[in-house]
Chain A
Amino acid sequence: MIESMTPLADATERQKMPTVSAPILETRGLWVFAGKRPLLADVELRIQPRQVFGIIGPSGAGKSTLLKCLNRLVELTPGLRVRGEVLLHGRSAYAPEVDVDALRARIGILFQQPVVFPKSIFQNVIFGLRHLGKVARSEWSVVAERALREASLWHEVKDRLDEPASRLSVGQQQRLCLARTLAVDPEIILMDEPTSALDPKSTESIESLILHLKQNRTVVLVTHNLGQARRVADTIACLTVQDGVGRVVKRGPILAGDFDGPIAAEFIKGRQ
């Protein structure tokens, strides 16, 4: 395994580095099995708060599976088994006493394809909110507006909140999904290749949103697009497939020359 850490970084790179603090999210010896076959082996990640943490790697390396381990959404996929630890604020996310639904409300997720429910735009924004019961019904529209503004969708939809969400463009739908997650006010937002279904303009707006979000939230971004990782991520982990098993081959801040070496060859396919 290759470990590129601080000594190689030049001055400008060092500025992008996080101050070393307690990680908000951490994995220790995380394995995922499908039956007896391992899909992911011994994943160790330390994700610092208010950062964009990029996970890059070729298709099939288990990036999405790794992401879903972080909010235990992996448990919805039949046949997958998780071993090892995921720590949120230093506490085990897989401990028996953990309320998994509350955990998922704290760690939001955005998928590759926007998943809007066959309801109005407004109903989609408050979909999670209304069920969690933390916000009074009279406050829903206030929270919805705030979430839509944070997802920079408010000006496009404020006059048609009662229209079906399916009428929005794919890019708008993805921002609507982000607003729906933001309405629940998660500390961490997981994003699974959120721009791979989008046109360049929507991609750009999602990327600038990600940079904006990290002011007060932590973002874990899975992407197969190196350019995107370089543009928005503070720290990255590279997953690759060795003998059919996904492994982390590099982690740390993005450094000059990271993608010129042999690892880069693995990711060339994803370069745009």
Chain B
Amino acid sequence: MMRNFKHRVFQLATAVCAAVACGILAMIALAIVRRGWPAVSWQFYTEQIRLVGAAGGIFYNLIGTFILIATALIVSAPLAVGIALVHGVYLRGSRHQEKVTFLLYLLNGIPSILFGLFGLIVFVKFFGLGKSWLTGGILLGMLVLPTVTVALCERMTTLPAAYLEAAAGLGLRQSQIVWSVVLPQSLSGLITGSLLGLARAAGETAPIMFTATIFAGATFPHGIKESPVLSLPYHIFILAQDSFDPSVGAKLWGSALTLLALVLFLSLLALPWRLRIHEEARHD
């Protein structure tokens, strides 16, 4: 009787926790959708910024954010594959394997503003790139590297050892096994990790605010050096400081809704692959 009661209480407590998590998400989404929806229109996405954000649209902010996350993807994916191979293949069964994992988590814990400062000193100043989309893309790539790598490592760990043994038993070299078995089988991990990483990168402001993005006056990048772009999160950051002006406020919430939708889209895109991983894990 008592045990049953305790069990019920515990169940209730966990249900409350789950409800709180869902509630927070719902509240944020609701607040943003309610205020942002009126601002959303075709013009909002096709026009460029006018009157210091009080009018016009966010066309170039979207373009800038896409350029930044695409660069982040190009920077982080090959690095993640390399690290995951070291972790999952070359250090398989070695005690150094955990050190790599630890370093990844450490990297993941570095505050994003520090990436910004690092980028300012190293890329903007030392390498002389100036404020540029490339600097921002590289920094965002570094920022999401742990996310992408950990997802890929997890996929490689669940790779059935039987595949590796079968391939080795046929006389394939390790590099051939990597190309023909490990990489094709881990692709879903790379896709999941990249999409989740990009969802995070799309919303980051701190790493790019003094390295890659400006508020107004940029269109498509014209080069590599000194070629900043506009971006969604920085746009929101600046507008938020001016939001007492109702016309600015409308644009602010419109931009926020757009960013939320983008992040949600990237996360949902990753979902089928994530489910597939779990499905296969159950079968093996």
Most B Cβ at <10 Å: residue of A115, A180, A181: A115
Chain B residues in 8 Å Cβ range of A104: 168-171
Segment at the A interface, from B17-25, B78-86, B158-166 = B158-166
Q: Is the CB of B171 within 8 A of A115?
A: no
Complex Cα gap A101–B167 (Å): 10
Known: A102-B171, A105-B170, A128-B170. A115 touches B180 (CB 8 A): no
Complex Cα gap A128–B173 (Å): 10
Q: Is the CB of B171 within 8 A of A128?
A: yes
Known: A111-B165, A113-B162, A117-B181. A78 touches B93 (CB 8 A): yes
The answer to whether B172 has its CB under 8 Å from any CB of chain A is yes
The answer to whether B125 has its CB under 8 Å from any CB of chain A is no
Q: Is the CB of B92 within 8 A of A109?
A: no
Contact mask for chain A residues 29-40; partner B; CB cutoff 8 A; 1 contact, 0 none: 000000000000
Q: Is the CB of B171 within 8 A of A73?
A: no
| A177 contact from B161, B166, B176, Cβ within 8 A | B166
Q: Is the CB of A184 within 8 A of B171?
A: yes
Chain A residues in 8 Å Cβ range of B171: 101-106, 128, 131-132, 184
- Mark out the residues of chain B between 202 and 228 whose CB falls within 8 Å of any chain A CB in the assembled complex: none
Q: Is the CB of A73 within 8 A of B165?
A: yes
| A180 contact from B93, B170, B180, Cβ within 8 A | B170
Complex Cα gap A101–B171 (Å): 4
Q: Which residues of B contact A (CB under 8 A)?
A: 92-94, 160-173, 176, 180-181, 185
19 pairs from A and B in contact (CB 8 Å cutoff): A71-B169, A73-B165, A78-B92, A78-B93, A101-B171, A108-B170, A109-B165, A109-B169, A111-B162, A111-B166, A115-B165, A117-B166, A127-B167, A127-B180, A131-B171, A131-B176, A180-B170, A181-B170, A184-B171
Complex Cα gap A105–B163 (Å): 16
State how many angstroms separate the Cβ of A115 from the closest Cβ of chain B.
4
The answer to whether A11 has its CB under 8 Å from any CB of chain B is no
State how many angstroms separate the Cβ of B54 from the closest Cβ of chain A.
55
State how many angstroms separate the Cβ of A109 from the closest Cβ of chain B.
4
State how many angstroms separate the Cβ of A127 from the closest Cβ of chain B.
7
Contact mask for chain A residues 186-220; partner B; CB cutoff 8 A; 1 contact, 0 none: 00000000000000000000000000000000000
- Mark out the residues of chain A between 55 and 91 whose CB falls within 8 Å of any chain B CB in the assembled complex: 71, 73, 76, 78-79
Residue of A nearest to B181 (CB): A117
Complex Cα gap A79–B167 (Å): 20
Q: Which residues of A contact B (CB under 8 A)?
A: 71, 73, 76, 78-79, 101-106, 108-109, 111, 113, 115, 117-118, 127-128, 131-132, 177, 180-181, 184
Complex Cα gap A125–B166 (Å): 12
Chain A residues in 8 Å Cβ range of B162: 111, 113, 115
Chain B residues in 8 Å Cβ range of A71: 169
Q: Is the CB of B170 within 8 A of A184?
A: yes
Chain B residues in 8 Å Cβ range of A184: 170-171
Complex Cα gap A168–B202 (Å): 45
Residue of A nearest to B170 (CB): A128
Complex Cα gap A132–B176 (Å): 10
Residue of B nearest to A183 (CB): B170
Chain B residues in 8 Å Cβ range of A108: 169-170
Most B Cβ at <10 Å: residue of A73, A113, A128, A184: A128
Q: Is the CB of B172 within 8 A of A101?
A: yes
Chain B residues in 8 Å Cβ range of A118: 185
Chain A residues in 8 Å Cβ range of B181: 117
Q: Is the CB of B92 within 8 A of A127?
A: no
Complex Cα gap A36–B170 (Å): 30
Given contacts A76-B161, A111-B165, 6 further A-B contacts (CB under 8 A): A78-B93, A104-B171, A106-B171, A111-B166, A115-B163, A132-B171
Most A Cβ at <10 Å: residue of B161, B163, B173: B173
| B173 contact from A73, A101, A180, Cβ within 8 A | A101
Q: Is the CB of B168 within 8 A of A127?
A: no
Chain B residues in 8 Å Cβ range of A127: 167, 170, 180
Chain A residues in 8 Å Cβ range of B163: 115, 117
Complex Cα gap A101–B177 (Å): 11
Complex Cα gap A73–B93 (Å): 15
Chain B residues in 8 Å Cβ range of A105: 170-171
Chain B residues in 8 Å Cβ range of A76: 161, 164-165, 168
Chain B residues in 8 Å Cβ range of A181: 169-170
Q: Is the CB of A128 within 8 A of B93?
A: no
State how many angstroms separate the Cβ of B279 from the closest Cβ of chain A.
13
Known: A113-B162, A115-B163, A117-B163. A73 touches B176 (CB 8 A): no
